[in-house]
Amino acid sequence: MLRVHVSGAADAPAFQQTVSILEGLSIVHDLRLDVQITPCAPLAIQLTTAHTSTTCTSLDSLLALLRQHVQFTAPASGPAMSLSPPPPSSLSPLNLGGPSSIRVNGAGALRIFVAGDKSQVGKSTICLGLLGSLLELGYKPHELAYIKPATQCEESQLVGRFCAHHGIAARPIGPVVFYSGFTRAFLEQPDAATATADLLHQVVDAVEAISASKRIVIIDGVGYPSVGSICGVSNADIAAALQPISVVVVGKKGVGDAVDSFNLNASYFTHQRGVRVLGGIFNRLPPDGYYSLPNCAANVTRYFELHYAERRQKAYGFVPDIQWPSHNPTTPLDDVALWTAVLNVFPSSVDVAALVDDAKANVGLWTQERSRKRPLADKTDDVLLAPIPIEDFTKKPRRELTIQWQQRQHIQAEAKQLGAAGS
């Protein structure tokens, strides 16, 4: 995604031309535009990509930068799209000359969101297994990243230590932490919508920052899919804010219960927020008995195969109940021994290569679907796609930020006094 911040005087022709061009481009491309009106100030433009941030002071310089990152392909018939500036007096909609296809050079890291059908189902262990398997598949540590953007637990986790040991960029905690008293403090906000938007912006900024120059980012969910919904930052809300993204649900052992739980939790993503769930990874299956891994894997796989044409979801793997190394109870287990135990079974239990391939394909499908939902206008539809008139930026009053969080220590102390569990 391209991010462009424009500041300057609202009545300056160069400022008006720049905003008009970018408003038109944002119709057909994943571009985030921030406009700041500064009376009497010169034009300043900052273009940020996944890899670089560049500042310029003229529209011509901006157009040269855009041509480095966005390629416009002319249709079979009709004129090619132009990035030439409009006449200074013109604020009419851009005439794009019919449908065009856009390819972004270096579109950013592939995002895989690991959700769970309940708390403590093993999401972070699955994240560790995915990262370790990606290393085995030939990805370099500097090409990978891990982040848990919302969490209820601030204790050190094995996956975070695994990342630190191998040189993988990681942010195991936050920026959103559901500490004791957090939700009640949220409900006391005078403007809940603004508070939610602020939390989601923190998440998006954190993921974009850690994604810079990466090929794959593993995003760890919290609890079950709707955790955080009271604040508007459920797993599904976060995933939707990070589109294009692919979700895999970590499920339980069994057959009927495993499939039913998967369907319930996957539907929260798809129906609540329109986020694609690629399939499931089923965890902690015993080696023998009625619910043994071979028995469950055969039946659950059969279910997904029967419904693949309808749902396009897969069972990517079945992870056995890991036998942790024996140790003296008075001494902690060695981290290397712990993640070695995970990686001894994970790569052969989960088809990580297929998951990555499907996630890549999903990005393409998402882009195509988004283009269909936001078609380029023909001449008769220009009025529907008109940029916001520049004068509206000055006429519309800026709403003051109305987030009034107390200090965390105060919130937690009050929650503890009222009997809340510790966090």
pLDDT at 379: 42
| Angle at alpha carbon of residue 214, lines to 210 and 220, rounded to 5° | 55
pLDDT (tens digit per residue) in 175-228: 999 988 999 999 998 888 999 999 999 999 999 999 999 999 999 999 999 999
Sequence-ordered list of residues with C-beta below 8 angstroms from that of 228, at least 6 positions apart, any chain = 150, 176, 178, 222, 234, 235, 237, 238
Query: Where does the pLDDT of residue 59 fall: very low under 50, low under 70, confident under 90, or very high at 90 and above?
Result: confident
Residue 376 is encoded by which pair of tokens? Answer: 């380029």
Q: Of 297 and 15, which is predicted with more confidence?
A: 297
Distance CA(154)–CA(178), nearest Å, equals 10
Q: How many CB atoms lie within 10 A of CB 193?
A: 10
Domain ranges of the chain: 2-69, 110-325+333-372
- Residue given tokens 């851009």 in the structure block: 94
pLDDT at 389: 52
Domain at 110-325+333-372, CATH from 1.10.260.30, 3.40.50.300, 3.40.50.20, 3.60.21.10: 3.40.50.300
Averaged confidence pLDDT in the chain: 82
Nearest to 208 by CA among 275, 109, 276: 109
- Residue given tokens 């955080």 in the structure block: 228
pLDDT (tens digit per residue) in 348-375: 999 999 999 999 999 988 888 777 765 5
Nearest to 317 by CA among 339, 337, 295, 300: 300
Q: In what order do the strands lie in the sheet with 53-56?
A: 31-37, 2-8, 44-48, 53-56
244: preceding bond cis by omega (within 30 degrees): yes
* Prediction pTM value: 0.67
pLDDT (tens digit per residue) in 1-44: 677 888 877 778 888 888 878 777 766 666 666 666 566 678 88
Architecture in CATH of 2-69: 3-Layer(aba) Sandwich (3.40)
